[in-house]
Amino acid sequence: MTKIGILGNGRVGGGLATALARAGHDVTVADRAPGAAAEAARSADVVVNATPGAGSLERLAALRDELRGKILVDVSNATVDGPDGLPADLLHHDSSLAEKLQRTLPDTHVVKTLNTMLHSVMTAPGSLSQPAGVFLSGDDRAAKETVRGLLADLGWREEWIVDLGGVETARATEAAVLFVPHVIRARGFRPFAVSVVT
Q: 192 in a domain, yes or no? A: no
Q: Is residue 59 part of a domain?
A: yes
What was the pLDDT predicted at 184? 85
> What is the count of structural domains for the chain?
1
pTM of the shown model: 0.94
Question: Residues 34-89: pLDDT tens digits?
Answer: 789 999 999 999 999 999 989 999 999 999 999 999 999 999 999 888 888 888 88
Residue 196 lies in a domain: no
- If we measure between CA atoms, which residue out of 70, 75, 62 comes closest to residue 107? 70
- Identify whether 63 is part of a domain: yes
CATH code, domain carrying 53: 3.40.50.720
For residue 85, the model assigns a pLDDT of 83
Decide if 128 is inside a domain: yes
pLDDT at 196: 84
- How far apart CA 186 and CA 22 sit, in angstroms, is 34
**Is 195 inside any structural domain?**
no
Per-residue pLDDT reduced to its tens digit, 83-107:
888 888 898 888 999 999 999 999 9
Parent domain of 172: 3-187
Rounded distance, CA 4 to CA 118, Å? 22
User: Is residue 65 one of the residues assigned to a domain?
Assistant: yes
